[in-house]
């Protein structure tokens, strides 16, 4: 039962809790008040930015694809999380297999970082990096403004994450919610505090 609960938690972390599996380019329309445009996933390869005032196309980002293996269908990973906007004017796209940082003005690729599933949705930090849950949900990774790993913080003894990390402003601390605990990790990757959010059986 514990294994089943952890698998369900990972499913929720990856954005699939209580939803039908996503179909190609059927739901991905994104807008934020900081964006002068709306983002549309035109197909599994391409994302298009349209001006919100007149519908003018601003830019397109088409990700490169590896050629398929012989006698197989091409695998095209879709966007699995809501895009995030950084203070460095980059948009972070979380594909199934990688994170792509795209210039918000031109749509050009700034950096790319391959991921190994299961991996959670990224959250932008005040220094324009990102934090995300990795592994089986028991580690937090910080990526820099250029996509390099800055640090990783493990919390295996506290369980696995069940939600996307939350960044606290202006401190830049990251909150990670596990099955029974809330963990506060500072911008240097050190643990500030832990609080139990769910009582163990038999506790009052």
We report the CATH number of the domain holding residue 186 as: 2.130.10.10
Structural domain contains residue 125: yes
pTM above 0.85, yes or no: no
Structural domain contains residue 204: no
Domain limits at 42?
A: 2-196
pLDDT band at 7; cut points 50, 70, 90: very low
Structural domain contains residue 138: yes
Structural domain contains residue 201: no
Structural domain contains residue 203: no
Structural domain contains residue 202: no
Q: SS3 of 90, please? A: strand
pLDDT band at 27; cut points 50, 70, 90: low
Conformation bin of residue 106: beta by default, left when phi > 0, alpha when psi is -120 to 50? alpha
Query: How many domains is the chain partitioned into structurally?
Result: 1
The distance between the two most distant Cα atoms of the chain, rounded to a whole number of Å, is 61
What are the Cα distances from residue 88, in Å, to 92, 112, 132, 147?
A: 11, 15, 18, 13
Is the Cα torsion angle 153, 158, 164, 167 positive or negative in sign?
Answer: negative
Q: Which of 6-20, 86-100, 180-194 has the highest mean pLDDT?
A: 180-194
pLDDT band at 137; cut points 50, 70, 90: very high
pLDDT band at 204; cut points 50, 70, 90: low
The predicted pLDDT at position 187 comes to 97
Please say if the pLDDT value at position 202 is more than 90.
no
pLDDT band at 169; cut points 50, 70, 90: very high
Structural domain contains residue 76: yes
pLDDT band at 50; cut points 50, 70, 90: very high
Q: Lowest mean pLDDT of 88-97, 105-114, 147-156, name the range.
A: 88-97
């Amino acid at each position: 039962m514990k294994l089943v609960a952890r698998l369900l938690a990972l499913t929720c972390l990856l954005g699939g809790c209580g939803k039908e599996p996503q179909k190609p380019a059927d739901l991905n329309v994104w807008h934020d008040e900081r964006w002068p445009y709306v983002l549309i996933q035109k197909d599994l390869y391409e994302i298009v930015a349209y001006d919100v005032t007149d519908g003018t196309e601003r830019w397109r980002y088409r990700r490169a694809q590896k050629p398929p293996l012989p006698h197989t269908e091409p695998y095209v990973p879709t966007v699995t999380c809501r895009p995030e906007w950084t203070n460095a004017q980059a948009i972070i796209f979380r594909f199934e297999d990688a994170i792509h940082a795209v210039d918000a003005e031109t749509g050009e690729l700034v950096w790319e970082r391959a991921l190994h599933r299961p991996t959670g949705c990224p959250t932008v930090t005040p220094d324009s990096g990102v934090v995300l849950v990795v592994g089986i949900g028991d580690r937090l990774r910080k990526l820099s403004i250029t996509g390099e790993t800055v640090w990783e913080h493990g919390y295996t003894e506290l369980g696995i994450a069940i939600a996307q990390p939350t960044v606290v402003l202006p401190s830049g601390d990251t909150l990670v919610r596990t099955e029974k605990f809330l963990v506060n990790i500072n911008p240097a990757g050190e643990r500030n505090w832990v609080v139990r959010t769910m009582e163990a059986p038999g506790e009052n």
